[in-house]
Structure 1
């Protein structure tokens, strides 16, 4: 069935994206390949890439990959009902994926808005203030030039941006599966098995 094939295709894509989100989130904990030593931003500890964009996306991904209406033979005697059950199951787990990807997307955006802590030349612990709408950083008394860890701002911004993009793609794919599931369920009803035909 085309709709099940489409779900499996989206499932493989989501599985790859989930693994990438987990890797990106783990790398955020090791700026420049070093231990963080308390230099993480306020939102990095939320595990948005591991839990939201990773584990919660793997659930629908694995369901989509294994989605076959014949698996519902035990509870649905008719093929049309099995197809509807398969499409409904895919829609429900796609909603879980949307929650996970949405969580990852929001936290990634907040992470980008709050730069990580670092040490300045005088070894004072501080963090860069967020930029205004024109991209110019506000001059606060506690702002500083990061000396340690080196390039932590670029590291932090780069991987948070990647997580933002990956979670946005995950949101799109889960939404596409909801549309695919609705169309697939309507198609199964319209076919109506051997006895019933679509009235239109």
Structure 2
């Protein structure tokens, strides 16, 4: 399988998930679809797990992985001074960066789901009425949140989306690390075929069957033309001012 092409495909997938993660994190600032004051929003939302971890950091990594799809035998990113193995090493580094970003989003999502949302409790104080994820097994506990309305399913669904996205991003980054290692060890496939004037394989002109596969322009030379060129070569050698002094 073409390592560079796969890097480009994985980069596109990461881009799509990063956009969804950013949108999910933004919606968490409006629990229940309502605008609240900053101290009434869950602390985990302010950690920006979806915007920073699965968003900005992952978009950066995805951009570099997408550019890997355009690598050719001229070098990396159009620079002839570095080769494809250097590009593969770079893809591993950016995949690891993306893995760290998605891992951060994963941890934030797990903590947020465990703690539950911040809401107005029975004592008319904004806080966390749930403990150790007990509300996940007992839906009747949801009534502890008086305001905002439907904040529990809102918070739970969006953080679950971020959790799933983080897991997918982590898996994609791990796949890219593995493929990058394969690209470093065994080289890329024929992705550069037809680019830079070089084919993926050397072709018939450099094989044992070259004699019968030369283009017609190179094989349909007449004897008269060959003799003319030979005579012109001898005359040019005789008239040359750089003849050896010992030869007249």
Compute the TM-score of the two structures, normalised by the length of structure 2: 0.67
Contact map agreement 1:128 1:144 (CA 8 A) in 2: no
Q: How many Å separate the matches in 2 of 1:39 and 1:157?
A: 16
Q: Could you say which residue in structure 1 is the equivalent of 2:62?
A: 61
Instruction: Determine the C-alpha separation between the residues in 2 that align with 1:59 and 1:32.
Output: 31
Structure 1: distance between partners of 2:157 and 2:62:
26
Q: Give the conservation status (yes or no) of the 8 Å contact 1:127–1:144.
A: no
List structure 1 runs of 4+ shifted beyond 6 angstroms. Answer: none
1:31 matched residue in structure 2: 31
Q: Does structure 1 conserve the Cα–Cα contact (< 8 Å) formed by 2:32 and 2:148? A: yes
State the Cα distance separating 1:127 from its structure 2 match.
2.4
TM-score (norm 1): 0.82
Which position in structure 1 is the counterpart of 2:14?
A: 14
**Structure with the greater relative contact order (CA < 8 A, sep ≥ 6): 1 or 2?**
1
For 2:126, the equivalent position in structure 1 comes to: 125
Change in Cα spacing, 1:136 to 1:32, as seen in structure 2 (3 Å) is closer
Q: 2:122 and 2:43 mapped to 1: Cα distance?
A: 22
Query: How many angstroms does 1:133 deviate by?
Result: 10
Matched length: 184
Q: Distance in 2 between matches of 1:71 and 1:150?
A: 57
Please say if residues 120 and 144 of structure 1, whose CA atoms lie closer than 8 Å, have aligned partners that are also in contact: no
SS at 1:29 equivalent: coil
Question: Deviations 1:135-158 (Å, cap 9, x if unpaired)?
Answer: 359x9xxx9722211011111111
CA displacement 1:41-79 (0-9 Å, x = unmatched) = 221110111000001101111111111143434323xxx
Hey, what's the Cα distance between the residues in 2 that align with 1:71 and 1:83?
6
RMSD over aligned CA atoms reads 2.7
Gaps of 5+ in 2: 191-200, 203-248
Deviation at 1:167, TM superposition (A): 0.4
CA 1:184–1:165 in structure 2 vs 1: closer, same or farther (change >3 Å)?
same
**Cross-structure match for 1:187:** 186
Give 1:134 deviation, angstroms: 8.7
CA shift in 2, pair 1:168/1:118, >3 Å: same
